[in-house]
Amino acid sequence: MMSAAKCSALMQRIRSKNTKPERIVRSALYSRGLRYRLDVRILGTRPDLVFSSKRIAIFVHGCFWHGHNCHLFRLPKSRSEFWKEKISSNRQRDRRVTQAFLREGWSVATVWECALRQRTPDQIKRVLVRLEDWIKTPRRAQSLTLRGG
Q: Angle formed by the axes of helices 20-31 and 121-136, to 10°?
A: 60
Residue 11 predicted with pLDDT over 90:
no
Does the model's pTM come out above 0.85?
Answer: yes
Number of domains in the chain: 1
In a domain? residue 53: yes
Residue 130 predicted with pLDDT over 90:
yes
| pLDDT, averaged across the chain | 90
CATH classification of the domain holding 119? 3.40.960.10
Check if the beta carbon of residue 47 is closer than 8 Å to that of residue 17: no
The residue range of the domain holding 141 is: 16-146
In a domain? residue 3: no
In a domain? residue 33: yes
In a domain? residue 102: yes
In a domain? residue 82: yes
Mean local confidence (pLDDT), 25-40: 96
In a domain? residue 9: no
